[in-house]
Amino acid sequence: MPELPAADIRRAVRLALEEDLGQGDVTTSALFPSAVPARARIVAQQPLVVAGMAAAVQTFLAVDASLRLAVLKKDGAQALNRETLLRIEGDGRSILMAERVALNFLQQLSGIATLTQRFCQAVEGRVAILDTRKTIPGWRSIQKWAVALGGGTNHRRSLADGILIKDNHLKLLRHKQTVLQSCTLARQRGPGGMPVIVEAESLKEVAQAVEGQADIILLDNMTPAMVKKAIKFIDGRALVEVSGGITLDNVRAMAAAKPDRISIGALTHSAPAATLTLELERAVQSRQKRR
């Protein structure tokens, strides 16, 4: 199980509640001037990989520490359609106030974990599936956690985590053998021992990357046929990463070309939110309690 980014979750929950509840809940306050005993459950409306349960739990407890929660599906668990993930009991007003924020975390993060799992299943373990830095600002750590829950591998978490020379870096160099020059400069001036990754959009650039002794060559927006040619030329002299335009429709073909890893921005920037619902009802108190 990937490590829980607890501090980042706490920060995200705090900001989300400030955004949604900072000025109060005027609807709930107008309708219910006193406590309303209630119970609720969060239910999956599709098969999914659960991610964001820790954030949902923190959300409910931050709104009302007296709420009673029963987690039935932990982060990383598989859930079937109509399975209950979480039960909540207590003041219905508190449940209403926390509902949307808790569901937002679960829907967004479970969507990422579920899509990641689909990509991992599609390649049948033949190649590592990586995420990218294409994340919601402030959510990078928790989005990457969701990727890991779905079976993916985390790529760089920040610009300090690795030398990755991309097309816009190369455009600024303005040199006939830009890829080769970039590898040389990265070796000379970059932090010692840090792998050099360089993006290549053609077989000519692949040849320069090999000559420059890049540790990882990122084949960008190439067809599976071009990827095969590039891998044959590289011949084990560098690890090979494939990226750009990867979908569930073409990822098997890319994996069949036998790169070492495939990076997919869509895992975090385009994953469809998982469909979940919170079902709420007023709790019936026993006669003895009513007395």
Active site residues: 100, 134, 166, 199, 220
Question: What span, in angstroms and rounded, lies between the C-alpha atoms of 60 and 230?
Answer: 52
How many angstroms separate the most distant Cα atoms in the chain? 87
Check if the beta carbon of residue 41 is closer than 8 Å to that of residue 69: no
- The token duo for 114 is 């579920």
Nearest to 17 by CA among 69, 58, 52: 58
Dihedral, CA of residue 248, residue 50, residue 56 and residue 71, to nearest 10: 170
